[in-house]
A and B are shown apart, each in its own frame.
Chain A
Amino acid sequence: MFLALRELAFARTRFGLMGAVVALISVLTVLLSGLASGLVVDGVSGLLRSPVQAMAFEEGTKTDSAFTRSEVTAVQRDAWQGQADVADAELLGTAIVNAKNDDGTPLDLTLFGVEPQGFVMPAAAEGRAVTAEGEALLSVSAKDEGVEVGDVVTLDRLGTQLTVVGFTEDQRTFGHVDIAFVPLRTWQEVHAGLTPGETADPEVYDVGSVVALRGVDGAPDLAAGDAAAGTSARSIEAAFDSSPGYTAELMTMQLIQIFLYGISALVVGAFFTLWTVQRTRELAVMRAIGASTRFLLTDGVLQAAVLLVGSVAVGTGIGAGLGAMLEGTQMPFVLQGQPVLTGALLLVGLGLAGAAVATGRISSVDPVTALGENR
Chain B
Amino acid sequence: MTTPARTDRATGTATTTVDPAAERQGLTLRDVVLTFGDGDDQVAALDHVDLDVAPGELVAVVGPSGAGKSSLLAVAGGLTRPTSGSVRVAGTELVGLSSRALATFRRDNVGFVFQSGNLVPALTAIDQLRLVEKITGRRAATAPLALLDAVGMAEHADRRPARLSGGERQRVGIARALVASPSVLLVDEPTAALDRRRSHEIVELLARETHQFGVATVMVTHDHDVLTHCDRVVEMTDGRLAPVQS
Contacts and interface: CB of A to CB of B under 8 A. Distances in A.
Are A and B co-members of a single complex? yes
Interface of A: 2-3, 6-7, 9-11, 281-282, 285-292, 295, 367-368, 370-375
Contacts of B127: 2, 6
B79 A288 contact: yes
B191 to A, nearest CB: 14
Contact of A371 (B105, B110, B114, B136): B114
28 contacts: A3-B122, A3-B123, A3-B134, A6-B123, A10-B121, A10-B122, A10-B160, A281-B118, A285-B114, A286-B131, A287-B103, A288-B77, A288-B79, A288-B106, A289-B135, A290-B105, A290-B107, A290-B108, A292-B103, A292-B107, A367-B79, A370-B112, A370-B118, A371-B112, A371-B188, A372-B189, A372-B220, A375-B115
A10 B111 CA distance: 26
A42 B225 CA distance: 84
Given A7-B122, A291-B107, A371-B188, 5 more contacts: A3-B131, A290-B108, A295-B134, A295-B135, A371-B74
A1 to B, nearest CB: 9
Contact of B112 (A3, A289, A292, A375): A289
B229 interface: no
Contacts of B123: 3, 6
Contacts of A9: 122
B226 to A, nearest CB: 18
B180 interface: yes
A289 B106 contact: yes
B120 interface: yes
Interface string B61-92: 00001000110011001011000000000000
A367 B77 CA distance: 11
Contacts of A290: 103-108, 110, 135-136, 180
A281 B119 CA distance: 10
B132 interface: yes
A11 B73 CA distance: 32
A285 B177 CA distance: 11
B82 to A, nearest CB: 13
Contacts of A281: 118
Interface in B105-157: 105-108, 110-112, 114-115, 118, 120-123, 127, 130-132, 134-136
Contacts of B115: 372, 375
Interface residues on B, range: 35 or more
B28 to A, nearest CB: 20
- With most chain A CB atoms within 10 A of its CB, the pick from B105, B127, B176, B188 is B188
B197 interface: no
Contacts of B224: none
Nearest to A288: B112
Contact of B73 (A10, A291, A371): A371
A373 B108 contact: no
Given A285-B114, A289-B135, A291-B135, A374 B70 contact: yes
B131 A282 contact: no
Given A289-B106, A368-B79, A372-B70, A2 B100 contact: no
A371 B120 contact: no
A11 B122 contact: yes
Contact of A282 (B112, B118, B134): B118
Nearest to A293: B103
Contact of A373 (B70, B110, B136): B70
B117 to A, nearest CB: 9
A285 B111 CA distance: 11
- With most chain B CB atoms within 10 A of its CB, the pick from A3, A286, A367, A372 is A372
A17 B68 CA distance: 44
B163 to A, nearest CB: 12
B137 to A, nearest CB: 9
Contacts of A6: 122-123, 127
Contacts of A282: 118, 120-121
A279 to B, nearest CB: 9
Nearest to A4: B122
Contact of B80 (A286, A291, A295, A368): A368
B122 A372 contact: no
Contacts of A374: 70
A287 B131 CA distance: 12
B79 A371 contact: yes
B98 to A, nearest CB: 12
Contacts of A286: 120, 131, 135
Contacts of A10: 121-122, 160
B3 to A, nearest CB: 25
B135 A285 contact: no
Contact of B69 (A289, A368, A370, A372): A372
B106 to A, nearest CB: 4
A285 B118 contact: yes
